[in-house]
Structure 1
Amino acid sequence: MAERRDDESRQEDLDWLYRDEESEAEKTRVEPPPAPRTTSRRPGTAGSRAYPPLRTHQSRPAGPGRGARPPAPPAPPGGGSRPHRPRRRPRIGRLIGRLLVLWLVWLLVVPVIAVVRSGTVEATPDGDRPDQQPGTATLLVGSDRRDDLTAEEQRKLGTGTAEGTRTDTMLILYTPPSGSSVLVSLPRDSYVPIPGHGRNKLNAAYSIGGAPLLMQTVEQVTGLRMDGYLEIGFGGFVDMVDAVGGVNVCLDKAMVDRDSHTDLEAGCQDLDGLEALGYVRMRKADAQGDLGRVKRQQEIIGKVAKKVLTPWTLINPVRYWKVNMAAAGAVRRGDNTSVFTMVKAGIGMVKVTGSDGIKMTVPVSDADAYTSAGSSVLWDTTRCKALFNALAEGDTSVAKQYAK
């Protein structure tokens, strides 16, 4: 009996000891414990509670930091696979990259649309042509074509209603393989030989035989082969100026001319498209006549080109679209003018408007000579030959000398 009481007393002590250990373990437990070990009951304790052996220093299980593998997270209720984590949003760098790609596509696609929309005109000259020179030469023509002007705009500009089409502006844009690009203005009243029609003013070639005869005349009188032909009418000029937000000019004195409907005050002022067209067409009130008009044409062309080529045009999609679509409606390219030639002409215009570009008028010996065609402009034969021979060899140094 004494032995039985000793066993019961020992069992109560064990109950008390393991109850405290279990209580302490419950306080520090962070993960569900592993499945309890199966132990045999102590002999002689039938019907009594079985306990694992007492933990000693050697039998203590490894805890965190002692090489034990962390327990697996509990399975989600109801079984099945673990829930997927939400996908992360694209990183800022990736988003910026995609926007840059879209922007580059926009810059490339819009000009293509403009080229497709632009009109064409027959401009391939007849007869023998000069040999191909290094670089690219493009004939730029401003015509008095009125089909893109409303009746109100024709009245305001004083364009008249004369039959046929004439040219107010003729320029050669030459881009060499390397070096400065050159923009050479050819006065419309230049007295030159026109193939099959004797000598006459240069703008008469367009009136007689259109773009092909004008191209042939320019090629024969300069010795340069024209790689391309680009023509802009009155309405196209107005649209281009308005597309870039107008141009700023500064006048030493007021400019008034009834024929071109020009009425501008002295000082600096912004001109819209219609005002800019009158500004470049006016010549009778200019003491320099046709040569003064040539200078104003180069001035406005340079200012429009600079505004077109500013970073703001490329950054602003609305303005970029307007400029390209205005150019598409304004410019007609020759049937012999490839898209590649147009691109090279654009590069040449960028160079001309820069600090290294050369803008000049063909060398003149007499700006008001009396001829069978009336008051005309005579070229300086010696200097013109030196200029165009140098350009035919890809040399622009002579042009730089004559432009001073």
Structure 2
Amino acid sequence: MTSKGRHDEPDEDPGPLSIFDRDEDDDEDGGPDSDGDGPGPGPAPRRRRGRRLLAWTLAVLLVLVGGAFGGLLWAADHYASSVRRIPDAFPALPASEQPPAVPHSGQTFLLVGLDARSDGPTTGKDAKAPAWQVGAQRSDTMMLMHISADRKSVALVSIPRDTWVPVPGHGRAKINAAYSWGGPALTVRTVQDLTGIRIDHLAVIDWNGFRALTDAVGGVDITIPRTIEAKGDAREWLAGTHHMDGAEALLYVRERHGLPNGDLDRTKRQQNFLRALMLRTMSSGTLASPSKLTGLLGTIGDVASVDDRLSNTDLYDLAWSLRDIRPDGVHFMNAPFGGFDTVDGQDVVLMDDGAASVLWTAMRTDRMDDYLAEHRTSADTLGRDVS
């Protein structure tokens, strides 16, 4: 009776399974029935081995994932730290004397390209834009880059280097003189006064640096729509698509004397090159290849300089926020052209102040998509047919 009653009792509920629970019948020596009384129930050892295997597998995965994440953080910080910071890049003026910042209106960068041909040949890490010295160099290229608040579009507007503008403390002059006279701070102030746009950040690169970037992605394809004959020091450019390495691309963006519209066509060539470089980077597998991406990031760190307000965290937060940008979301144009003139023996470019005011307002208020929709066919907007 007693034996029968015991067998009639229901089996004890084993409870939920967990990879962290130790079996109750495991003793310190590592198994049931270690006293030699018998092997115990058959399925238990197999189940315990399965649990241990699962636990170790998960532990290894956690270590690997944690290590990979830590490696990514290290790489991001390493490359961001390799970008030189520019101190005192902004004018030392009270806020009341600068354009007001507009909340929730995206970010605007001033991009400055220097041409240090007089400094001798530079490549790779030696191509980083040199520190500014009074009278040592004028900016060769100037662009305003506006990133929309929703991070879906980017607009780049070139201001030709010969544009005749007021330079604070120096009267009217070509805009590229501001860098020579007062470095980054005077350049930022000049552009802010001209446009009424608060500049959030500054980036400077020597055009030799673009040569290194071009080589880092394996060259770029640029189409010359019609043959341009040699003129003076300017080389001949044959019609057709050219696969350019860094040295040839540098000749392409520097040229202006053989072009029909001089400095205006030169800025369009620079924009066309940047567009080609961007397309090459996105389409060549560079972003998907760890080795290619590492090489590109290392080159950027070697050749670029940014203001010291842009922290490492700011840099990779910005890069991450732009991860969904596509080529058709990046737009290039020139500041509205008002004609050529000669002032004190200097050939200068005039800006159409009325048309420019509309553009600057659109950029300042983050309405560049509306502006582009209305002005897409303008001669100032970069098309596919670039001389």
TM value normalised by structure 1: 0.68
Q: Deviations over 1:360-401 (max 9, x none)?
A: 1111121x2222361111111111111112222222112442
The corresponding residue for 2:334 is 361
The corresponding residue for 1:219 is 192
Q: 2:309 aligns with which of 317, 325, 336?
A: 336
Q: For the structure 1 residues 343 and 255, does the alpha-carbon distance in structure 2 shift closer, same or farther, using more than 3 Å as the test?
A: farther
SS at match of 1:337: coil
The corresponding residue for 2:217 is 244
The corresponding residue for 1:169 is 141
Q: Verify the 8 A CA contact 2:163 2:348 in the aligned structure 1.
A: yes
Aligned residues: 317
Q: For the structure 1 residues 177 and 234, does the alpha-carbon distance in structure 2 shift closer, same or farther, using more than 3 Å as the test?
A: closer
SS at match of 1:280: helix
Q: Verify the 8 A CA contact 2:216 2:299 in the aligned structure 1.
A: yes
Q: For the structure 1 residues 228 and 344, does the alpha-carbon distance in structure 2 shift closer, same or farther, using more than 3 Å as the test?
A: farther
SS at match of 2:328: coil
Q: For the structure 1 residues 89 and 345, does the alpha-carbon distance in structure 2 shift closer, same or farther, using more than 3 Å as the test?
A: closer
The Cα RMSD (Å) is 3.6
The corresponding residue for 1:24 is none
SS at match of 2:76: helix
1:386 aligns with 2:371: no
Post-superposition offset of 1:177: 1.5
Q: Verify the 8 A CA contact 1:111 1:324 in the aligned structure 2.
A: no
The corresponding residue for 1:136 is 107
Q: For the structure 1 residues 119 and 88, does the alpha-carbon distance in structure 2 shift closer, same or farther, using more than 3 Å as the test?
A: same
Q: Which ranges in structure 2 are unaligned for 5 or more consecutive residues?
A: 1-36, 41-47, 125-134, 378-387
Q: 1:124 aligns with which of 85, 90, 105?
A: 90
The corresponding residue for 1:65 is none
Q: Verify the 8 A CA contact 1:182 1:399 in the aligned structure 2.
A: no
The corresponding residue for 1:51 is none
Q: Which amino acid in the other structure matches residue 110 of structure 1? A: A
SS at match of 1:336: coil
1:377 aligns with 2:349: yes
Q: Verify the 8 A CA contact 2:82 2:302 in the aligned structure 1.
A: yes
The corresponding residue for 1:145 is 116
Post-superposition offset of 1:306: 3.0
Equivalent residues in 2 for 1:74-113 (5 A)?
A: 105-113=70-78
Q: For the structure 1 residues 257 and 186, does the alpha-carbon distance in structure 2 shift closer, same or farther, using more than 3 Å as the test?
A: farther
Tell me, in whole angstroms, the C-alpha distance in 2 between the residues paired with 1:207 and 1:97: 54
Q: 1:290 aligns with which of 260, 263, 271?
A: 263
Q: Which amino acid in the other structure matches residue 175 of structure 2? A: L
Q: For the structure 1 residues 116 and 291, does the alpha-carbon distance in structure 2 shift closer, same or farther, using more than 3 Å as the test?
A: same
Q: Verify the 8 A CA contact 2:146 2:155 in the aligned structure 1.
A: yes
Post-superposition offset of 1:187: 0.8
SS at match of 1:313: coil
Identity %: 29
Post-superposition offset of 1:335: 2.5
Post-superposition offset of 1:121: 2.1
The corresponding residue for 1:157 is none
Q: Verify the 8 A CA contact 1:262 1:279 in the aligned structure 2.
A: no
Larger radius of gyration between Structure 1 and Structure 2 = 1
Q: Deviations over 1:248-293 (max 9, x none)?
A: 1111334566777655433212111111111011001010211111
TM value normalised by structure 2: 0.71
SS at match of 1:200: strand
Equivalent residues in 2 for 1:253-268 (5 A)?
A: 253-255=226-228, 262=235, 264-268=237-241
Post-superposition offset of 1:339: 3.8
Q: Which amino acid in the other structure matches residue 81 of structure 2? A: V
Post-superposition offset of 1:212: 0.9
The corresponding residue for 2:131 is none
Tell me, in whole angstroms, the C-alpha distance in 1 between the residues paired with 2:174 and 2:57: 63
Tell me, in whole angstroms, the C-alpha distance in 1 between the residues paired with 2:276 and 2:56: 42
Q: For the structure 1 residues 377 and 317, does the alpha-carbon distance in structure 2 shift closer, same or farther, using more than 3 Å as the test?
A: same
Tell me, in whole angstroms, the C-alpha distance in 2 between the residues paired with 1:102 and 1:262: 53
- Which one is further off, 131-140 or 221-230? 131-140
Q: For the structure 1 residues 270 and 311, does the alpha-carbon distance in structure 2 shift closer, same or farther, using more than 3 Å as the test?
A: closer
